[in-house]
A and B are shown apart, each in its own frame.
Chain A
Amino acid sequence: MDATTFLVLISALLLLALALGLPVSFTLGGIAVLGVLYVWGVKGLFSIAQTAFDEGTNFILIAVPLFVFMANILRCSDLADDLYHLVYTWMGRVPGGLAAGTVVICAIFAAMAGISSVATVTMGLIALPSMLSRGYSKQLATGCVAAGGALGILIPPSVIMVIYGTMAEVSVGKLFMGGLLPGILLAAIFVAYSLLRCLKNPSLGPPVQERFSFAEKLRALKGILLPSLLIIVVLGVIYTGVATPTEAAAVGALGALVCAWVRRRLTWQNFNEALLSTLSITAMVMWIIFGAVAFTHVMAYAGATKVFQDAVLGFGVSKWWIFFGIQVCLFFLGMFLDPAGIIMLTTPILVPLVKTLGFDPVWFGVMFTINMEMAYVTPPFGFNLFIMKAVAPPEVTLDDIYKSILPFVGLQALCLLLCVVFPEIALFLPSLMK
């Protein structure tokens, strides 16, 4: 069997097992074992165990459990309630104002946590029922929460960027800075979209009737205090050099604990639940990584990098067509796979290719992350969609959620396009880091 046949076969096997509903980590790991046995023989199986040890002791991945823990603690504190109350009192009377405000809160959460599920869960629990009960359309309400939550990986800090940076040997600090403006841009696009839709058709997001006095509005402002402090701490320690981006995760987790404690939400039960959930999510991510890296070793041993590069370069098309092709491939992978797995699978092939073609790896990393924003929300496998289903009121069906997300995917693609046409959006801040 030649390299190309083998690679096609093993990829087909992978897709089949995934489609049959086998957990992603088992699929990658199990097929890696079969692949190793075929191309490498029994002695190659050592690489599977060595990979688990190497990735398990990977310093940069230490950020993963810490960011997840921070998210879980934030979820059990009532910071989100306060923020939502703020939005409600200030923006409730604008058509679509609650949706727009929800996106803003999601962006603020994104600046605190490195994963997408924090804002999705919290806003799904708090903002979604409130919007629905005030006559907001299901589609707008669920869509803005699911897509807004995904901002968590684009606005720094970001676990996805940390993993990408490790695999691609790109400065994580630069990636963080690179994601900030596109993240703000994307949030702004979501806000504009929500307001414009409701301006044209107020029945999608009717204004709140309740009136608030100015004093009440001022009082609501104090809700922003603790979250802003936390953002300043996390981004501040990175920016001032007190801690590396990895260490900032630990500082942020401690900060979240303090916030929860200040708000008297840090019960023993909350604390233990947060720990157990952190363990479970970390294990889920890490086992996917164990499997995915083992799988990429098989692909490399069989010569995938060369086959792929030859195939892409062999078309003889311009580098922008190749870039476009890569983004389309990533989009399709994103429909079926988790972003962490996509990074492991594709970076060993993509990054050399991108460098060969002369693209800036930092810029490409940001484009990659925007593409992964879509992966979180595209059906059929969209992590945020499943979270939405889990936390939304029962009258919201999975089909509602699938439909709700489509315009937002389009907006994410628009943001990606803008950053391609105006690369400065992604590169301006990293270029200041000199």
Chain B
Amino acid sequence: MARQHNACAAARWRSWLATSVISASLAATMTLASAETRATTGATADAEFSQQLGELKKSFTDVGRTIDESAKSIDAIQNPEQGRKSIEELRNQVSTLLNAVADNGEISKLGAKALSLADEKLKSLDREARFKPEEKQYLVNRWRELRSATEAAIKDLDSARKDFSELLRSLQTSEDYIDELMQIREHERALQVIHQLSEGIRDASVKLKKLLGTIQPPGV
């Protein structure tokens, strides 16, 4: 059961990346395929982490565009049922974002691995006797920089996880409220709730764009 879940999660991650890229272009698909090959041929944890963060930024841009469009279309909705469907589609988009940054997701695991690699490297350099002091210092400084950059990227992912979780919760709560309102035939009020959502979605889109601007793959 756990193995099947892991296989599904791994497949979902790869497929999510792949589908985003397909929609962009065939060339990008080839890039992803070769990136996956690299990932399985023993690249170091920090290189893999940087590469995955780069892919993540590309995919998030596509999802961000869809979210922007949803915010625009939600304003024009005149039918609560249609609104509920839009919210469901939005939940699907936000779920895609959250899937990528979940604590048990591939990127989070790679980030932790990259951080631990940097720590190990710094410890081993401390005991290193082969190099001249200035050479050793250079290596130590570079690893410290890499460690700081990795830590900053992990912090950005933490903050993204928090934002996406809040947005997903807000969408599902609104959907539930709309559902309750429709049960008592309060269609006008349901429409109001739907229209109010567009503000929250725009805010989420701004946060996503800010995140895209901040996330910096370490070592790049």
The judgment on whether A and B are partners is no
> Could you list which residues of chain A lie within 8 angstroms of chain B, going by C-beta atoms?
none
